[in-house]
Amino acid sequence: MNPLVLWFHRLGSPPYFYRFAGRLLPWMYVLALTSGVIGLYGGLAVAPPDYQQGESFRIIYVHVPSAWMGLFGYMFMAVNGFIALVWRIKLSETLAMAAAPVGAAFTFITLVTGSLWGKPMWGTWWTWDARLTSELVLLFLYVGVIGLYHAIEDARQAARAAAFLALIGIVNLPIVHYSVTWWNTLHQAQTVNLLGKSKISADMLWPLLTLAFATHVYFFASVLARSRAALLTLESGKEWVRALAAPQPSGVETAHV
């Protein structure tokens, strides 16, 4: 078999995944933190103030990357949920359920920072604009998935039920994304365009893209860390987990656990 395919199969085995993710995690946290600090410095100190919004526009540097991660996290959760439902891969169930709280956290940040920007700029904390409403629905979908997962006793059945809910909720993603074009309400249309030309000056754009990179790395780090913790509970009857929990022979460090 192709070595890459072989490696992918091995990654699906919980003990291998646990060790692999454990080795990767410190580097991911370091990468996310350094790029995050560079991006925040750029956004707060280097980028010039907006000619209309003044300094308040700097809120976009936490608002927009979080909004992207809210959508990306949902997509990641739904794709893994789909794999879990169709091919019954245990690790996909775990990854899907690990993504839900992270995506929910980013969506929550999006809503609150948007509100903090809306008060001085629009003159209101909240309005039932299409983008705002669909983003709130996104948060409710995340909360629904998390709630359903915790409401069912059997963890594997719970993950499949929650994955099914996540798949239904996917109809909300295009609504969030296109709401600013479909309905002409308050929220501004997108200015950053991955394929075409962005309508934002370069010294304002690079901190935003750096932070988008940082939040992506952070998202995956958090999903891996949550999956590792979840696997310990899900596989607590298995030999590899019992070996991790067993008291270490003297002289052996427990740091690698």
Partner 1 sequence: MSEFLAMGGYGAYVWTSYALFFIVLAADAIAPLRERRRALRDLQGRMKRQAMRKPA
Residues belonging to the chain? 257
Tell which one of 45, 86, 195, 202 touches partner 1 (CB under 8 A): 45
185 contacts partner 1 (rule: CB under 8 A): no
Q: DSSP 3-state helix, strand, coil percentages of the chain (rounded to 5)?
A: 75, 0, 20
The DSSP output letter for 53 is T
Residue 195 near partner 1 by CB under 8 A: no
Q: Of 9, 150, 199, 242, which one interacts with partner 1 (CB under 8 A)?
A: 242
**Minimum distance from residue 95 beta carbon to partner 1 (Å):** 13
Q: Binding to partner 1 by residue 164, rule CB under 8 A?
A: no
Q: Confirm or reject binding of residue 2 to partner 1 (CB under 8 A).
A: no
Q: Which positions from 15 through 44 interact with partner 1, judged by CB under 8 A?
A: 29, 40, 44
Q: Residue type at 191? A: T
Distance of CA 65 to the CA centre of its chain: 10
CA distance linking residue 214 with residue 160, whole number of Å: 30
Min. distance of Cβ 102 from partner 1 in angstroms? Answer: 6
Assess 241 for contact with partner 1 (CB under 8 A): yes
Which residues does 252 contact at the CB level (< 8 Å), separation at least 6? none
Q: Which of 28, 47, 62, 217 binds partner 1 (CB under 8 A)?
A: 62
| CA-atom Rg of the chain in angstroms | 21
Q: What is the dihedral of CA 9, 10, 14, 15, to 10 degrees?
A: 180
Q: In whole angstroms, how close is the CB of 59 to partner 1 at the nearest point?
A: 5
Q: Is residue 67 a contact partner of residue 86, using CB atoms and an 8 Å limit? A: no
Site string for partner 1, 127-146 (x = CB under 8 A): --------------------
Q: How far is the CB of 62 from partner 1 (least distance, A)?
A: 4
Contact (CB, 8 A) for 158 and 123: no
# chain residues binding partner 1, by CB under 8 A = 41
Q: Which of 31, 38, 75, 116 binds partner 1 (CB under 8 A)?
A: 116
Q: What is the 3-state secondary structure (H, E, C) of 107-138?
A: HHHHHHHHHHHHHHHHCCCCCCCHHHHHHHHH
Instruction: Look at residues 4, 165, 176 and name the one whose alpha carbon lies nearest to residue 82.
Output: 165
Q: Does 222 bind partner 1 (CB under 8 A)?
A: yes
Footprint of partner 1 on this chain (CB under 8 A)? 29, 40, 44-45, 49, 54-56, 58-59, 62-63, 66, 101-102, 105, 108-109, 112-113, 116-117, 119-120, 218, 222, 225-226, 228-230, 232-233, 236, 241-242, 244-247, 257
